[in-house]
Amino acid sequence: MSLFGTMKTAVSGMNAQANRLGTVGDNIANSSTTGYKAASTSFSALVLPSTTGSYNSGGVESNISYAVSEQGALEYTTSDTDLAIQGSGFFIVQDTAGNTFLTRDGSFTPDENGYLVNDSGYTLMGYPADGGAATTVVNSYDGLVPVKASDSSIASVPTTLASLTGNLNQAADEVALGSYASDNSASVDVDQDSVLKTSVTTYDDYGAAVTYDIYFTKTDSDSNSWEVSVYNAADASTSGSGSFPYGGDGLLTSSEITFDSTGAIASVGGSSTDLSIVIPNGGDGISLDLSGMSQKASDSAITKGTANGSAAEAMTGIDIDTDGTVYATYASSDPKALYQIAMATVASPDNLEVYSGSVYKTTADSGVVTIGFAGMEGFGSITSGALETSNVDLASELTEMIESQRSYSANSKVFQTGSDLMDTLINLVR
């Protein structure tokens, strides 16, 4: 046995315990760091060849790993742009140089340009929704753009589609010819069940609100026919005492709708396939879908009306859904989908390469990246207004610190003993 070998073995043990103590120190220092994943040290024996009656001491090798796949607890905050992942997956972020990373740190806040940037300076990436459904590129980062959470510009979307759902009373009497709404007759009685009036608010190309008055008039009880007539509410007369305020050329469009013997809508304007009418308002007009109308023996009533488009107004904020869809919110208009936050997974998250700022890059051992959205199979959900805390267990770290200290001291005793024996050997020749 070599005394130098024994001393080198002790040095190997002290170095290994120093590495272990280093991971403990990092873990304790980052016990409050958002999305931090605990580091740990494992050991493997280094054995040198020995002969019968002579033992060559080897040493120990230390290996550092990170518990990237271990979920941290969620901590709720007061910021809607703080995001936490419950389950598998990573946010995709980008640094100022355009390099792409993965992270669980969702401490995002808008920067001076409105982009969501976390506390480590990485920008959140997603796919533009453009008011509809976003799609992913499953195996690369192509198509990703920085997610912008604020915009000072004034935006509007003109209405192109509207719909009505409701019932027209099958038992209503037909209205006498000349009293139809399309005749612009002041004698139209909107208080009877044979005439149903409703209104729909839409938006023009400038984002200005335009309200249309829509009249349904029973025209033929035997053939189950009704007339639908549309007027611009701004053209209504403010004088006179009649209940029907339109005259002259106020009619924008009218059409006949028919129902079958079960009360289901059969045709609009003679078509059984296109159950809509077009309200002229410039461009291609507004398509008013009437497929949700029925004719049953019940009071005439409209139960639901919808119209796309939005008024001219600035964003007031954003809402982020559990599937990662980022909606712009407005004072009076409906929310509008702007982006969908992309998420990534790999086959072996614990083998990702760790960088400063709690971000990761893929390696040959981690496997290739797969991109999707929150809620899809293999991906967790996103919680807005929450952060994932560090998965460090302080009690375990303090225990490891004590164990590492004791092991380091024991290895130093082995080194000291080897040194003393070496002194004894040297003193033999004095």
What is the percent of the chain where pLDDT is above 70?
93
Per-residue pLDDT of 114-160, as tens digits, reads: 999 999 999 999 999 875 667 788 888 999 999 998 877 788 889 99
pLDDT at 364 over 90: yes
Antiparallel, parallel or unpaired: β 276-279 and 286-294 = antiparallel
Q: In whole angstroms, what is the distance from residue 108 CA to residue 82 CA?
A: 5
Three-state DSSP state, 410 = helix
- Kindly state the DSSP code that residue 417 receives in the 8-state scheme: H
* Chain centroid offset of residue 92 CA: 12
Q: What is the CA radius of gyration of the chain?
A: 37
pLDDT at 352 over 90: yes
Local confidence band at 87 (pLDDT 50, 70, 90 cut-offs): very high
What is the percent of the chain where pLDDT is above 90?
62
Over residues 61-84, the mean pLDDT reads: 93
* Chain centroid offset of residue 80 CA: 12
Q: In whole angstroms, what is the distance from residue 359 CA to residue 355 CA?
A: 5
For the chain, domains (ranges, CATH) are 3-67+391-427 (no CATH), 76-153+316-388 (no CATH), 156-312 (2.60.98.20)
Residue 425: the pLDDT is 80
- Of 27-31, 81-85, 383-387, 421-425, the poorest mean pLDDT is in 421-425
Residue 241: the pLDDT is 53
DSSP secondary structure letters along 6-30:
HHHHHHHHHHHHHHHHHHHHHHHHT
Average pLDDT for the chain: 88
Q: Across the strands, what pairs with 82? A: 107
Per-residue pLDDT of 388-411, as tens digits, reads: 999 999 999 999 999 999 999 999
pLDDT at 203 over 60: yes
Three-state DSSP state, 4 = helix
- Of 198-202, 214-218, 278-282, the poorest mean pLDDT is in 278-282
Where do runs of H (alpha helix) occur along 199-271? none
Q: In degrees, to the nearest 5, what angle opens at C-alpha 151 toward C-alphas 147 and 153? A: 145
Q: In whole angstroms, what is the distance from residue 422 CA to residue 274 CA?
A: 100
Q: Is the CB of residue 315 less than 8 Å from the CB of residue 329?
A: yes
DSSP secondary structure letters along 200-264:
EEEE-TTS-EEEEEEEEEEEETTTTEEEEEEEEGGG--SSSS-S----TT-EEEEEEEEE-TTSB
Three-state DSSP state, 425 = helix
Residue 430: the pLDDT is 64
Local confidence band at 188 (pLDDT 50, 70, 90 cut-offs): low
Which residue type is seen at 319?
D
Q: Is the CB of residue 381 less than 8 Å from the CB of residue 374?
A: yes
- Please give the span between the terminal C-alpha atoms of the chain, in angstroms, as a whole number: 23
Over residues 306-334, the mean pLDDT reads: 89
Q: In whole angstroms, what is the distance from residue 294 CA to residue 286 CA?
A: 21
Q: In degrees, to the nearest 5, what angle opens at C-alpha 319 toward C-alphas 381 and 374? A: 20
Local confidence band at 426 (pLDDT 50, 70, 90 cut-offs): confident
Q: Is the CB of residue 268 less than 8 Å from the CB of residue 290?
A: yes
Sign of the Cα pseudo-torsion (405, 407, 411, 416, in order):
positive
pLDDT at 248 over 70: no
Over residues 199-206, the mean pLDDT reads: 92
Local confidence band at 238 (pLDDT 50, 70, 90 cut-offs): confident
Q: What is each CA distance from 31 to 20, 391, 396, in whole angstroms?
A: 16, 8, 12
pLDDT at 187 over 70: no
